[in-house]
Every structure is written in structure tokens, then in C-alpha cells.
Chains A and B, each alone.
Chain A
Amino acid sequence: MYPAQFDYRRAGSVDEALGLLQEHEDAKLMAGGHSLIPMMKLRLAQPPVVIDIGRLDELKGISEAGGGVRVGALTTHADIAASDILAASCPVLAEAAGHIGDAQVRNRGTIGGNIAHADPGSDLPPVLVLLGASVHLQSPSGARSVAAADFFQDLLMTDVGEDEILTHVDVPAQSAGAGAAYLKFEHPASGYAVVGAAASVTVQHGRCTAAGLVIGGVGAVPTAVDVSSLVGADLSDDAIATAASGLDTEDPLGDIFASGDYRVHVGKVYGKRALAAARDRA
């Protein structure tokens, strides 16, 4: 199984990659290739030109930035999972990255490629939406950022424009008293999340002051659940279960492995467990 023929260009800088994108209609950017190459092997994607941006060091790495953490688009899942900076400021992102696929996949797959592909079974999107991360995009006309909640538009569709490159993701640091967790019900063969639940709970002076829950795998894009009933509540298991049962999607995804109704049910169960885990860490 191999991809259809294509021309290969390797970019030496972001500017050069932007130029190549302008030059070649329907070209695709390739980072680690772990979303694009499988699509090309199945001939679901047949780009005439692939622009390899995998060597752009300027897009790699994790650093502290403006009270949060900046993760370069080409940072691998393995590097995110092992990051001391993220372990200190935003451990739930590292936790989710460590659950992606397997060691080999984490060594090649990147955060930028992952979220630009926007697979509904991907682990990072619900976490980034939960955290209020911003996705940064660059085009020849300038740079812009978009909230993760607006970035994911539909199944495999994002806000990235044809002339844009995803450069980095900014993640706010978790506040004092906040706990967060990511739990997934994993497809046993593919490792993709059938359902992934990202939850956060903030407790100050013994009271819940904020809570969030975002479920992946149920809808075409991450589904936020309104768990505001937990604010000021006692965070009992019952209160958490009631809040998580608010998961509602009009047209849930379904396939041969898990029907839509089943995914919604599992989403409520994993939502409850993720909220409880977040509470215990807060």
C-alpha cells in the first residue's frame, strides 16, 4: 500500500513553506506524516505536492510564554508527554499526549499535524478546548490566533486557511487549586479514542469555583458539556454524575464499533470519571 504519486518539496523555513503553498495549488503540508501518510496510502488524500515542514526547528519545542506554555506545532507527542514545563504548568496536556497511539506513533506524530487533521477520535482536541488554548496561524499576510473551541469546525475540518501554516499552540497555565484529567475509552486496535473526556475542577477554600468538561469522539468536533451546576456545589459523586449526564449531541458519530447512542452513554460515564479524577487532583 503506497501513496499516489506526488512531488516532494522540503521547506527550510516557515517563509519558504508559505511561498511553496502559494506556488502549488492543493499542496499539503507534512509534519510527522502520521495523519497525512495513512490518508495518502488509503488514497483518501492525493495531494499533487507535499511540502515537508518536518525539519523546521523554529516550530519545535515547549517554552514558558506569557503566563502559559507555548508548544511549537512540530513538537512530538513524546516530547509533550515528557515535558517538565507542562508537568508543572499544564499536566493534563502531557497526560493526554502520553495516551496517543503508542510509543512509535508518539515519536513521529506532532501536535500541529494532529490538530490540523482534526480526527474526532484524536486525544488532544478536547483537552485544548477544555484549557482554552489558542492556535496560532501564519500566512503571507500576517499572523492570527484562534481559540481552540473555534478552530475545530467539522469532521476533519479546521479554521486553517489554504495559505496558512499552523505555527504553535498557546496553553494557559492551570490556576492554583485547579485539577484536570483526561480519560479515554480506547479503540483496542487503533488506539484512537472512541470517547475521550477532558475535565477540570478548581477548588478554592473548599468550594468549587470553576469546572469544565469537554468530550471527544462523540461529535464531529469536541463537545463541551455545561457543568456550571458544580460551581458552589459539594462535588459529591452524585453531583458530578448529574453534571456529566448533561452531555448532549444532536447527531452523534457512530460506526461499526460504537453506535452514536453508545458513544453518548460512554461519554457520560467517562465524563463523570474524568470530573471525579480532576476533583481528586484539585
Chain B
Amino acid sequence: MTVSIQLEVNGKPVQAEVEPRRLLVHFLREDLGLTGANIGCETSLCGACTILVDGNAVKSCTMLAAQADGAAVTTIEGLARNGELHPLQDGFWEKHGLQCGYCTPGMILSANYLLEQNPSPSDEEIREGLKGNICRCTGYHNIVEAVKYAAERMS
């Protein structure tokens, strides 16, 4: 069987027929070509696949595409506005918040969710907010700096 889904992805309406077992991350990457959400651990631990669903950070490897029917989804591809990087993207650039970059899309969307909830978080709150995102390169220090940089510019 297939399931009919209609959703909004980065502001654009999308309609599709998906297999029930189609995971949202596979739908985004393979059906829509939005490869920003990465597949890391596949066990909802690493956070590389983090996206926003109706404004909430979620791990798209642990959600069925069918569950996203009717939702508004934001991926890393949807953050820049009119060719200008989002302050978080700018912050990761300016503060060297990435090395290999694999975790970065998920980090930025988790950070985006955190700043929606708490516009001026402490270092500790940033680390807690990004607990669900694993980075094996940076040691996290510059990621925290990047989020602080963005928080200042967004306030």
C-alpha cells in the first residue's frame, strides 16, 4: 500500500505517495533531493538528521513520512533568506563551529529550536539544548561559540 501525504517543506507545498515504512529522512533526501539532513546513527541518538516539524526539532530518522502528513517541515536548505545565511549558519562559519560538517545541519536546526525557546541561553543551556546532537570533530567548544554569536545577532 501507499499513503497519500501533503506537507509543506521549506515553505513549498509537497504532495506524494509514500510507502508506509518510508522514513521522513529518506523521503527528504531521496524523494525531494534535500540532502542536508544527514543519516548518521539511524537509532535516534546522533542528531545528524534533525529537522523542524511544525517548529519542533525532531529526528527525521525516527519518524515516518506518513506521520508528517499536514506538517510544516524546515530543513537546513530552508534557513537562508534571499541568499543571506541565517545567523546560525553565519555563526558556524565565523566561529569555526564545524570541521567535517556532517553534524552541522542537525546542530543548526537544534540550535534554532533552542533559540526559539530561549533567545539568550547560557553556555550550559546551549550544551543541554544540543545534547541530542553528536559531533566527533570539534569538541563542541566552537559550536557553543557559534550559537552564542547567533543568539546575539538574533536578539
Contacts and interface: CB of A to CB of B under 8 A. Distances in A.
Interface in A190-241: 190-191
A104 B114 CA distance: 10
B20 A105 contact: no
Contacts of B50: 104
Contacts of A189: 45
| Size band of the interface chain A makes with B | 20 to 34
Contacts of B113: 103
Interface stretch (A31-39, A83-91, A244-252, A259-267): A31-39
A54 interface: yes
A241 B43 CA distance: 37
B67 A105 contact: no
B90 interface: no
Interface stretch (A1-9, A66-74, A133-141, A157-165): A1-9
B11 to A, nearest CB: 21
Interface string A64-102: 000000000000001000000000000000000000011
Interface residues of B, number: 30
B96 interface: no
B135 to A, nearest CB: 14
Contacts of A4: 21
Given A2-B26, A38-B44, A103 B132 contact: yes
Interface string B15-49: 00001111100100000000000000011110100
A108 interface: yes
Contacts of A104: 44, 47, 50, 57-59, 110, 132
B45 A2 contact: no
B1 interface: yes
B105 to A, nearest CB: 13
A33 B20 CA distance: 13
Contacts of A2: 21-23, 26
A89 B15 CA distance: 44
A103 B23 contact: no
A103 B132 CA distance: 7
Given A1-B42, A189-B45, A6 B20 contact: yes
A8 B1 contact: yes
B132 A101 contact: yes
Nearest to A189: B45
B21 A108 contact: no
B1 A105 contact: no
A117 B132 CA distance: 21
Nearest to B20: A8
A143 to B, nearest CB: 27
Contacts of B63: 33, 37, 108
Interface of A: 1-8, 10, 30, 33-34, 37-38, 40-41, 50, 52, 54, 78, 101-105, 107-108, 189-191
Given A30-B67, A103-B113, 5 more contacts: A10-B66, A33-B63, A103-B57, A105-B59, A189-B45
Q: Would you list the 8 A-B pairs with minimal beta carbon distance, nearest first?
A: A102-B132, A8-B20, A107-B56, A1-B42, A102-B131, A3-B21, A104-B132, A104-B59
26 contacts: A2-B23, A2-B26, A4-B21, A5-B19, A6-B20, A7-B20, A8-B1, A8-B3, A8-B20, A8-B64, A34-B62, A37-B62, A38-B44, A54-B67, A102-B131, A103-B57, A103-B132, A104-B47, A104-B57, A104-B110, A105-B59, A108-B56, A108-B63, A189-B45, A191-B131, A191-B132
Interface of B: 1, 3, 19-23, 26, 42-45, 47, 50, 56-59, 62-64, 66-67, 110, 113-114, 129, 131-133
